[in-house]
């Protein structure tokens, strides 16, 4: 029996979207034959606004590129300015940045895992993941006074040293979390419903992932072995001993598994950074004006490779500041990810992208 094809609009107000964007899918019965991702509902003119602010004033704006990864976005921004100024960040500040980045990575992955739980009908995963995330947000509060928009990195270091007993509290959280994460894994991997909706769904080859420019867990789940922390190290990541999780299956489950394993690796990095943290200052005074030139920095954001490109004109404000968001690139692969799958697969597939529209639309 022949069926007529029909376009269905999912979003911008749809639970699967995790933000304001739209995915138009063309369905033939239940099978998707075409798809068009549409963004732009949240555009704030972030890059243009930066041209009217001094370099220190942009730091809290960088926090708001993605509220669940504010630490890493402000980090890549200050790294870009530090590269332009050619200043050396104190070693203790570099260790503190590594600890803060990995706490940020864990809590971001936990928010993604909570959302995946509800997308696939498991409310317990949602509750347990957010319960564990609260412990890491509490660490942020102790470190810098904020839960989401942390405003902790500074040009030349970090805002403040870690407070009294922070190392003890951090180690307690890491030890407890590693045990509880196995309970959450059991909820997912022991569920026949979860496995049937993830395994073998939306398979992407290593070559396709590279050609689409995917980065982060979405890329490493397709067999591409690349991580900025290891392959182009910044701060003191070259002193850390950690593994980069890579899965060759390329399906939705592989992208889920990579993020799970990354959380364990982040715990190990935090443990090593705390053990090796030296004494000393946490900040150096940076010049107000940035010399004229073109500058670039990148780091490994929880969602992929975050980049900033700065053009400075010798004043105290940037002439141009361009952001390269990993999600902007990853969402462009939505068509390849969903074509050939069924309508009911869309929430599970798009959930593995881990959408953040703040950094996508800017």
First to last CA, the chain: 46
Give the count of beta carbons closer than 10 Å to the beta carbon of residue 267. 21
pLDDT of residue 80: 93
DSSP 343: G
In terms of Cα–Cα distance, which of 44, 62, 49 is closest to 297?
62
Mean pLDDT of 85-99: 92
pLDDT of 155 over the 70 cut: yes
List, in sequence order, the alpha helices (H) in the chain. 46-50, 55-63, 70-85, 91-119, 123-144, 166-189, 192-198, 206-212, 217-220, 228-231, 252-276, 326-330, 334-338, 346-351, 357-361
pLDDT at position 319: 93
Tell me how far apart the alpha carbons of residues 362 and 356 are, in angstroms, rounded to a whole number: 10
pLDDT of residue 330: 87
3-state secondary structure of 157: strand
Say if residue 292's pLDDT is above 80.
yes
CA distance 259 to 6: 35
For residue 267, what are its two tokens? 């715990």
Question: Cα torsion at 181, 200, 206, 326 (round to 10°)?
Answer: -50
Residue 3: predicted pLDDT: 62
Task: Please check the confidence at residue 304 and state whether its pLDDT lies above 80.
Answer: yes
192: tokens are 């026949």
- Decide: residue 70, CB within 10 A, 0-12 exposed, 13-18 middle, 19+ buried: buried
Question: And the tokens for 28?
Answer: 């033939």
> Rounded mean pLDDT of 77-89?
91
**What's the whole-number mean pLDDT along residues 43-49?**
87
Q: What is the mean pLDDT of the chain?
A: 88
Question: What is the predicted pLDDT for the residue at 189?
Answer: 86
Integer Cα distance of 79 and 299 in angstroms: 9
- Please say if the pLDDT value at position 136 is more than 90: yes
**In the structure, what pLDDT confidence band is assigned to residue 27 with cuts at 50, 70 and 90?**
confident
Q: How many whole angstroms separate alpha carbon 72 and alpha carbon 300?
A: 8
Average pLDDT over residues 46-50: 89
- Give the span between the Cα atoms of 22 and 41, in whole angstroms: 9
Cβ-contact 281, 93 below 8 angstroms? yes
- Does position 173 have pLDDT exceeding 90, yes or no? yes
Q: At what angle do helices 91-119 and 252-276 cross, to 10 degrees?
A: 150
Rounded-to-integer distance, Cα 99 and Cα 171, Å: 11
Q: Judge whether residue 309 has pLDDT over 90.
A: yes
Average pLDDT of span 36-43: 86
Assigned superfamily of 6-361:
Cytochrome-c3 Hydrogenase, chain B (1.10.645.10)
pTM of the model: 0.92
Q: How confident is the model at residue 342 (pLDDT cuts 50, 70, 90)?
A: confident
Mean pLDDT of 188-216: 86
User: What's the average model confidence in pLDDT over 304-324?
Assistant: 91
User: CA nearest 55: which of 322, 359, 319, 362?
Assistant: 319
Q: DSSP H helical segments within 6-122, as ranges?
A: 46-50, 55-63, 70-85, 91-119
Place of tokens 């500041």: 321
**Quick check: 69 and 301 in contact, CB under 8 A?**
yes
| Residues 5, 72: Cα–Cα separation, whole Å | 43
- Give the pLDDT band (50/70/90) at residue 139: very high
Q: Are 339 and 34 in contact (CB under 8 A)?
A: yes
pLDDT for the residue numbered 2 = 54
CA nearest to 208, candidates 18, 115, 340: 340
pLDDT at 1 over 90: no
> Stretch 74-97: mean pLDDT, rounded?
92
Would you state the structure tokens that stand for residue 264, as one six-digit string? 């364990």
In this structure, of 25-34, 167-176, 256-265, the range with the lowest mean pLDDT score is 25-34
In percent, the amount of the chain with pLDDT more than 70 equals: 99
pLDDT digits (tens, 9 = 90+) for 218-257: 889 888 888 899 998 988 999 999 999 999 888 889 998 9
Q: Which residues lie closer than 8 Å to 17 by C-beta, 6 or more apart?
A: 10, 11, 23, 350, 355
């Amino acid at each position: 029996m022949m069926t007529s094809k029909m376009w269905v609009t999912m979003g911008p107000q749809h639970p699967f979207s995790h933000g304001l964007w739209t995915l138009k899918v063309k369905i033939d019965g239940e099978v998707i034959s075409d798809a068009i991702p549409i963004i732009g509902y949240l555009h704030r003119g972030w890059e243009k606004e930066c041209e009217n602010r001094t370099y220190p004033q942009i730091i809290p704006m960088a926090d708001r590129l993605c509220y669940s990864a504010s630490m890493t976005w402000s980090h890549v921004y200050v790294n870009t300015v530090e590269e332009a100024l050619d200043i050396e960040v104190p070693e203790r500040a570099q260790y503190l940045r590594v600890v803060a980045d990995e706490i940020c990575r864990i809590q971001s992955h936990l928010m993604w895992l909570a959302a995946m739980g509800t997308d696939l009908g498991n409310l317990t995963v949602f509750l347990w993941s957010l319960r564990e995330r609260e412990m890491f947000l509490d660490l942020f509060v102790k470190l810098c006074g904020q839960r989401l928009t942390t405003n902790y990195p500074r040009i030349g270091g970090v805002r403040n040293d870690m407070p009294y007993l922070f190392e003890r509290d951090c180690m307690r959280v890491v030890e407890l979390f590693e045990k509880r994460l196995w309970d959450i894994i059991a909820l997912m991997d022991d569920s026949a419903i979860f496995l049937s909706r993830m395994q073998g769904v939306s398979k992407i080859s290593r070559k396709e992932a590279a050609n689409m420019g995917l980065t982060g867990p979405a890329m490493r789940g397709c067999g591409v072995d690349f991580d900025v922390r290891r392959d182009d190290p910044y701060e003191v990541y070259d002193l850390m001993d950690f593994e980069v999780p890579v899965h060759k299956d390329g399906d939705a489950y592989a992208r889920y598994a990579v993020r799970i394993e990354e959380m364990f690796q982040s715990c190990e990095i935090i443990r090593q950074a705390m053990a090796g943290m030296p004494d000393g200052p946490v900040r150096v005074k940076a010049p107000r004006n940035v010399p004229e030139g073109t500058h670039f920095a990148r780091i490994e954001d929880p969602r992929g490779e975050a980049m900033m490109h700065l053009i400075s004109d010798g004043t105290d404000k940037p002439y141009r500041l361009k952001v390269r968001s990993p999600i902007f690139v990853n969402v462009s692969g939505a068509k390849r990810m969903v074509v050939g799958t069924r309508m009911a697969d869309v929430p599970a597939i798009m959930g593995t992208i881990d959408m953040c529209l703040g950094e996508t639309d800017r």
